[in-house]
Structure 1
Amino acid sequence: MSQDSSAPPPTPDPIPPPSISETQAEDLIHGICFKTGPPRLIGAELEWLVVDAEHPARPLPPERLRAAHTAARALPLHSRVTVEPGGQLELSSAPATSLTGCVDDLQADLTAVRGALLARGMVLRGLGRDPRLPYRRLLNSPRYDAMEAYFDRTGPAGRAMMCASASVQVCVDAGHQEPGALGHGRRWRLAHLLGAVLVAAFANSRAQEGPYAGWRCARQGIWSDLDSRRALAPPLDADPRAGWTRQALDTEVMCVRSYEGDGMWEIPRGTTFRDWLRTGGNPSLRAPTAEDLDYHLTTLFPPVRPRGHLELRMIDAQPGDDGWLVPVAVVHALFDDPEAAETAYRVAKGLADSYGTQPAPRNPLWRSAAEHGLADPELRTAAKACFLAAAEALPRLGASRHVQDAVADFTHRYVLRGRCPADDESTQVLTGKEVRR
């Protein structure tokens, strides 16, 4: 029987991209994760819980959450709007050449988003961990299906991270390659050394029950309980590029994507990316590609992630309309003002050195920060020195009076008193009106 000439030709099988070698993978990570140059840009990613304006303690139906996301995406914003698996709304600023530019754009975008949500009976809440149970995943996609299945092997922390956590992530340039106060090696170390201080000062996810009962930063407990390597910092005694490259390649592959649009994604067990590069790790796996490596890097969740710039990921989402701008301003000052950076490095290193070299977030200092916040006297002393140095630096960096006042208010209300937002009981529950600073 002759073929019908009017029928469309069969769709050819997708052609996979070329595979890469172990050396090529190392070179790719070296080239993309630390872009060096003079520090000049700052950015922030703000994650928020979306709740009902009148009954915030009640979980929102999926259709209302999706309506909130659609409304936010329809707005003409400076920032990029994305959605986390549990329905958390994220605003990611464009890289800004000044703190003022970053803050002004985000404030304008937040005003617009809040207005659009309020018209639909919803509001944003800044809280590091959603207290509403059970955790419910809103997004269904091959990525999140695979991520959930992977994390379920090691316990409930993965689902909690995906569906119930929210943060303020601050992004700073990696800096020059050469050593010194602005060198990327020093800035890389500073980000990790400061991490526990930032966890403690901005802790805003107090747990009343469960494995983190009483902790000021239960969100940090969740991250520390993810699988044994994916959320860890690399050893800081190595060159940043070499250390991060080893960490990335020696972490298990979370999933292997299908080239077919509706194909199932494989979830290998016990196969690191280096295994995959060398042997395939499993006879059923195809050869890895540069695209697979790029994707693998997006499934790593260390406290500081190098993405050309440095992404500080350890800070809880903050309460109030403007609470988020305090960690953005403080991090900017401690990294980009030379005098404040020197103070922060000296103070944080002295504190961290007394707690050994176990990587964050499993270092005992990080656990104390998550459990006790600034009630830990050593962390309180370190935070006081860092926040006062940041406050002195902000006028030199051209920060607005509004930003300076917000940092000063936070410093006096919390840091100097050995307190953190988690110590304000009213900020830890979902109420109709969140307490403002």
Structure 2
Amino acid sequence: MTDSPTTAHEPIGDPRTLVEHLASGCRPVEDWKIGTEHEKFAFRLDDRSPVPYEGEHGIGALLRGLAERYAWTPEYEGDNVIALKRDGCSITLEPGGQFELSGDLLDHLHQTCNEVNSHLAEVRAVAEPMGLGFLGLGFHPTAKREDIPWMPKARYRIMRAHMPRVGSLGLDMMTRTCTVQVNLDFSSEADMAAKFRAGLALQPIATALFANSPFLEGKPSGYVSYRSHIWTDTDPQRTGQLPFVFEQDFGFERYVDWMLDVPMYFVRRGGRYIDASGQSFRDFIDGKLPALPGERPTLADWDDHLTTAFPEVRLKKFLEMRGADGGPWKRLCALPAFWVGLLYDAGSLDACQQLIADWSTEALATLREDVSRDGLRAEIGGRTVREIAGDLLELAQQGLGRRKRLNAAGDDETGFLEPLHATVESGRTPADKLLELYDGEWSGSLEPLFRTRAYY
């Protein structure tokens, strides 16, 4: 399908244009790509404290160092470097200085893992001489909310002011969480809907497999994925399970209807972010947005608005799988392997749909809360998540095997699932292992965590 005929900066007067814009993301199967994104916490090697933007050893200096040494092109907001671009990749900053790589659109998982390894090597080479390290975890294990320095990005100032109006944990989501996600293509509206349903229903299983955030301000939190728990009280109007996805008529138009009712955060004009928090995109289409009276939105405004919703599967011109904690590098490769094996193979996708067919939206909502606390021990439909995860890994293994994407050594993509097989076989999530170390070898200290789980 070709791109929408409406250009990015042409005013929109008909919501149907928004539907066509999402539908323009449909790609033939042979053109499907894999895009992986992952975040990590920066910390000072000497005292394990979070890293501010400013200073010769700050996040800004790190970005400038990467640009100079590895030919990244810097992007600015005012005088501040706030992102880097190179060869289809970008490095961006989350509100609390979490470093994010948004990877290129790649053909297979061998390329994905090479990209991850190259990125971590570059970051380490620049960061270590500055006395900085990076930690792979889903929630900051020691820092309090007030300990986290905010990055100088205007959109975050708007969100920071708005978040406390709609939930008690939104600021923690912004500053103290890290995730890994994969972005996947679809061939048609029906294919999108099938992948969205399967992905949304199975997202709690991924949350359990990747649970890696058991600590809150230096102590066990009572959750194996405190990052996942954070989303239960961030903003109910833009998060959650999206029950309408499981309705028979779900498609691009239904998602657009939902997004039109998600309150706005901002509008960008002339390099400035204009506060439109709580205002309606429907009013914007009618030329009645209080922040910009008389103006109508463009597709660029719509694309910005799509980024301000946070369901565990998010639709743009592709689908984002968003339910996993950040973690060590092997799991950064395992997350895309899990979803590619399940959703990019017709047989595995069909089996996923059969598996979830009897799961009610109420049961899924309960499961979403239970896995953040109980991980693989949570249950749905009379089965444990551990059992279901074993079935899904077998389906993913088969799906990846049928893809037959080989590296130079002749290996297919199934090896990237090995860390997840080990998790299911042991019944212990990464968080469970961290808690065992905390109670045992580490004697209640989290100082060793910054050595053993850092990207050195």
TM-score with structure 2 length normalisation? Answer: 0.79
Asked if residue 202 in structure 1 is aligned to residue 210 in structure 2, the reply is yes
Q: Distance in 2 between matches of 1:34 and 1:72?
A: 35
Residue aligning to 2:343: 335
Check conservation: 1:231, 1:302, Cα contact below 8 A. yes
Asked if residue 68 in structure 1 is aligned to residue 31 in structure 2, the reply is no
Residue aligning to 2:124: 114
Secondary structure of the 1:106 match is: helix
Residue aligning to 2:280: 272
Q: 1:174 aligns with which of 173, 186, 210?
A: 186
Q: 2:150 aligns with which of 138, 155, 173?
A: 138
Residue aligning to 1:160: 172
Asked if residue 381 in structure 1 is aligned to residue 387 in structure 2, the reply is yes
Alignment of 1:81-120 (within 5 A): 81-120=91-130
Q: 2:427 aligns with which of 401, 412, 418?
A: 418
Q: Distance in 2 between matches of 1:33 and 1:162?
A: 30
Check conservation: 1:128, 1:316, Cα contact below 8 A. yes
Residue aligning to 2:26: 36
CA offset at residue 268 of structure 1? 4.6
Check conservation: 1:334, 1:341, Cα contact below 8 A. yes
CA offset at residue 117 of structure 1? 1.5
1:143-185 deviations in Å (ceiling 9; x for gaps):
11111111121244221111111111101112334x4xxx222
CA offset at residue 276 of structure 1? 3.8
Q: Distance in 2 between matches of 1:31 and 1:231?
A: 22
Residue aligning to 1:14: none
Secondary structure of the 1:433 match is: helix
Q: 1:314 aligns with which of 323, 327, 337?
A: 323
Distance 1:392 1:32, change over 3 A: closer
CA offset at residue 406 of structure 1? 4.5
Alignment of 1:265-304 (within 5 A): 265-269=274-278, 271-278=279-286, 280=288, 282=290, 285-290=293-298, 291-304=300-313
Check conservation: 1:344, 1:385, Cα contact below 8 A. no
* Letter aligned with residue 89 of structure 1: F
Secondary structure of the 1:224 match is: helix
Asked if residue 225 in structure 1 is aligned to residue 236 in structure 2, the reply is no
Distance 1:34 1:313, change over 3 A: farther
Distance 1:50 1:399, change over 3 A: farther
Q: Once the two structures are aligned, what percentage of the paired residues are identical? A: 25
Check conservation: 1:43, 1:94, Cα contact below 8 A. yes
Q: Paired residues, what number?
A: 403
Secondary structure of the 1:123 match is: strand
Distance 1:379 1:359, change over 3 A: closer
Residue aligning to 1:191: 199
Residue aligning to 1:247: 258
5+ residue gaps in structure 2? 1-8, 72-85, 439-445
Q: Distance in 2 between matches of 1:42 and 1:380?
A: 26
Distance 1:129 1:33, change over 3 A: farther
Q: Distance in 1 between matches of 2:251 and 2:400?
A: 28
CA offset at residue 233 of structure 1? 4.4
CA offset at residue 420 of structure 1? 1.3
Secondary structure of the 2:203 match is: helix
CA offset at residue 137 of structure 1? 4.1
Check conservation: 2:109, 2:413, Cα contact below 8 A. no
Residue aligning to 1:125: 135
Check conservation: 2:275, 2:291, Cα contact below 8 A. no
Residue aligning to 1:148: 160
CA offset at residue 242 of structure 1? 1.9
Check conservation: 2:337, 2:413, Cα contact below 8 A. yes
Residue aligning to 2:369: 367
Q: Distance in 2 between matches of 1:188 and 1:336?
A: 12
Q: Distance in 1 between matches of 2:170 and 2:341?
A: 33
Check conservation: 1:33, 1:307, Cα contact below 8 A. no
Residue aligning to 1:9: none
Residue aligning to 2:15: 25
Residue aligning to 2:80: none
Larger radius of gyration: 1
CA offset at residue 18 of structure 1? 6.5
Secondary structure of the 1:203 match is: coil
Asked if residue 48 in structure 1 is aligned to residue 36 in structure 2, the reply is no
CA offset at residue 129 of structure 1? 0.8
Q: Distance in 1 between matches of 2:154 and 2:122?
A: 32
Check conservation: 1:85, 1:144, Cα contact below 8 A. yes
* Letter aligned with residue 59 of structure 1: P
Distance 1:382 1:255, change over 3 A: same
**CA-based RMSD:** 3.0
